[in-house]
Amino acid sequence: EAQVTQNPRYLITVTGKKLTVTCSQNMNHEYMSWYRQDPGLGLRQIYYSMNVEVTDKGDVPEGYKVSRKEKRNFPLILESPSPNQTSLYFCASSPIEGGRYEQYFGPGTRLTVT
């Protein structure tokens, strides 16, 4: 089954404790992206990746890191989480075909930083 998986689905942590949220897709998509969603603010892009070893900043990259060492995986790293990073996070992947972006989204990771 074609899918994007994220782990963990729920995470409660404390300020400053480094964490990683994993994202994996099995569709051989070139494009992968991370979003955060907060009430009233919609979906905001954190980082995206065009292919292996190619990443770039989205709208809200501060406080986050990403890496793309393999095509299928795109982990999101919070080196020193803070309470304002409490949010619902979505990973997505998409084929790239001209200007087309048909993104497939993961189920989401709900992060709480206390």
Interface positions with other proteins (CB under 8 A): 4, 31, 33, 35, 40-45, 48, 50, 56-59, 88, 90, 92, 96, 98-108, 110
Tokens of residue 77, six digits: 């790293």
In the complex with other proteins, which residue's Cβ is closer, 35 or 113?
35
Question: In which residue are the tokens 């603010």 written?
Answer: 41
In the complex with other proteins, which residue's Cβ is closer, 5 or 80?
5
Taking the complex as a whole, the smallest distance from the CB of residue 101 to other proteins amounts, in Å, to 6
**C-beta of residue 32 within 8 angstroms of C-beta of residue 45:** no
Taking the complex as a whole, the smallest distance from the CB of residue 4 to other proteins amounts, in Å, to 8
CA geometry: angle 18, 47, 77, nearest 5 deg: 10
Neighbours of 81 (CB within 10 A): 22
